Structure 1
Amino acid sequence: MSFRFAYCNETLAPGRTFLEQCDLIASLGYTGIEVAPFTLADAPTDLSQADRAELKNAAYAAGLEVVGLHWLLAKTTGFHLTTADAGVRAATAERLIELTDLCADLSGSLMVLGSPQQRNLEEGMSLETATDHAAEVLKTVAPRLEERGVTLALEPLAPTETNFLQTCAEAVALAERVGSPRVRLHQDVKAMVGGESEPPATIIHRYPQQTAHFHANDANLLGPGMGDTDFAPILTALKETGYDGWISVEVFADGPGPIETARLSLEHLKAVAAKV
């Protein structure tokens, strides 16, 4: 099998049009782009159908596939997944529905739900209640996901980032509670390294059927190959479990600069993939 590699656009967005981002990502050898909505507009409803067609065509012209969206609630106010405020939960469900439509209109097929600040437990709230609230929101969104053919992938994050959904087991349990084939698991290397008690390869082998998407990064927040994380067992596990989705590089630190980071990340992933 061969892996498909995409790049998350937010580090390349400043000072560049979406077309320029696509051309740059394609020139580095990636075949997909994963989009942070805040790099396109303040809100999905700010983008007309003509705008969406133009963005989709920009990716197509560059030879890229739009993988989907991530950082769904980043740089927003008034949204929260687990809050006690029913009005905010309803608004959050509506925003996720709007993002589902945006994703589908861009020809994307998945959305990664991370956004730790918009899911953290409020003071005094129990994990059980927070899970009830999250399930309520996601059950509201699920029919639109199913209608538009978009998968919402729940992203566990380490305890340093959030106090809700810290492990793949917790994300899978929430997805099962929602009960939609379009709500599944997302796996992220830095999160697994920082939040799980077992190596990433073990976690990958445990949830092959539930995993819809994968983010590649180092525990140091840079790209693959730019720290101590060994990607050989990770890619081997993905191959052994028959993972056929995208592997998107998502970085958070500046390092040698965004372009060089994107280049080195893909170079390392391809070199490792050639040996597994």
Structure 2
Amino acid sequence: MNPRPHPAQAPGEPAASPTPLRFGYGTNGLADLRLDDALALLADLGYAGVGLTLDHMHLDPYAPDLAARTDRLARRLDALGLDVTVETGARYVLDPRRKHGPSLLDPDPDDRARRVDLLLRAVRVAADLGAHAVHCFSGTTPQGTDPDTAWHRLADALTPVLDAATTAGVPLAVEPEPGHLLATLADFHRLRRTLGDPDLLGLTLDIGHCQCLEPLPPADCVRAAAPWLRHVQIEDMRRGIHEHLPFGDGEIDFPPVLAALSATGYQGLTVVELPRHSHAGPQFAELSLPFLRRAEATATRSPVLVPHPGDPSATREGSTS
């Protein structure tokens, strides 16, 4: 399969008309289902796509015959009419004893290389699936590692991944993650500038993370992030508490967020991210889509300008709080 195009709204211009949003659901919130069952469920519920976390239960990136399994999955996604983004946040896919380990920041270069290898596999899978982006994150700073060293490791580790993404034509979408080295929008811009602002380096914006720790409201974060936005994750959350919550259980006012997102012209997937709710995944998948559609329907439709690249970030550079 050829990758699908990745159109983006011109920075600094309002969308000619609001762009209908395309909602997906993350397989990390359906971990108790077989992948084919999860995909059939999402298609039946009316989702436009899926956030596919490469994991031992869902397209294991280290099991035999990955290319053949990916090809079968591509045909299944096409048959169901589902688009896809590839996510790399599996907890124990690389190490059964270390959650999300090893990371791109590990002191051991061999350990960093294992994470890089996972991301390279993810890029190949994404290209074969026609995915609109590959998601990744920095990892937490290891104890005893100074920040400058950690930033150097991150940039160095991502360079071959960006090279592969450029060859494949698939954006790499880095996610600011609370508690990680790259935790905020400001941190993303630090990485972007360090790497020379490569075309295929984009941003995964998690709406709940904006509520958790960014100084601006989530809708303003969407507008600030718009020029680099390649993937969106969404759930409810409370200020200062990094806990992914079902819609209505947190503090986020969703209609302004979805209005801002629509006004940017973003055409990728907006994926529900409830990784700790797999025990009732089908129920939350069924409830989440009508909630988002209602919020989108009631959103204010006034034009929202997308900031020009280079506008000041919402948080000071290097902030992690």
Aligned twin of 2:166? 146
Counterpart contact for 1:216–1:224, Cα < 8 Å: no
| SS of the residue 1:265 aligns to | helix
- Which is helix-richer, 1 or 2? 1
The 5-angstrom pairing of residues 15-94 of structure 1 reads 16-38=33-55, 39-44=57-62, 46-71=64-89, 74-77=92-95, 79-94=102-117
For residues 58-96 of structure 1, the C-alpha deviation after alignment (integer angstroms, 9 at most, x for no partner) is 222222122333416753226321122222223322221
For residues 132-170 of structure 1, the C-alpha deviation after alignment (integer angstroms, 9 at most, x for no partner) is 100001112111101111111111112xxx241110110
The 5-angstrom pairing of residues 250-261 of structure 1 reads 250-254=273-277, 257-261=280-284
The 5-angstrom pairing of residues 150-189 of structure 1 reads 150-158=170-178, 162-179=179-196, 180-189=198-207
Counterpart contact for 1:186–1:214, Cα < 8 Å: yes
Quote the Cα distance in structure 1 between the aligned partners of 2:173 and 2:279.
30
Residue of 147, 152, 158 corresponding to 1:132: 152
Counterpart contact for 1:109–1:149, Cα < 8 Å: no
Question: Which range is displaced more, 132-141 or 245-254?
Answer: 245-254
The one-letter code matched in structure 2 to 1:227 is G
Quote the Cα distance in structure 2 between the aligned partners of 1:91 and 1:49.
19
Q: Mind listing any 5+ residue stretches in structure 1 that lack a counterpart?
A: none
Give the Å deviation of 1:42. 4.2
| TM-score, structure 2 as length reference | 0.77
Give the Å deviation of 1:175. 2.5
| TM-score, structure 1 as length reference | 0.89
| SS of the residue 1:208 aligns to | helix
| SS of the residue 2:231 aligns to | strand
The one-letter code matched in structure 2 to 1:27 is D
Quote the Cα distance in structure 2 between the aligned partners of 1:187 and 1:270.
19
| SS of the residue 2:47 aligns to | coil
The one-letter code matched in structure 2 to 1:225 is G
Counterpart contact for 1:223–1:249, Cα < 8 Å: no
Aligned twin of 1:200? 218
Aligned twin of 2:142? 122
The 5-angstrom pairing of residues 233-272 of structure 1 reads 233-254=256-277, 257-272=280-295
For residues 9-57 of structure 1, the C-alpha deviation after alignment (integer angstroms, 9 at most, x for no partner) is 122242x332221110011110101111003254346343221111111
Q: 1:205 to 1:247 in 2, by over 3 A?
A: same
Counterpart contact for 1:12–1:21, Cα < 8 Å: yes
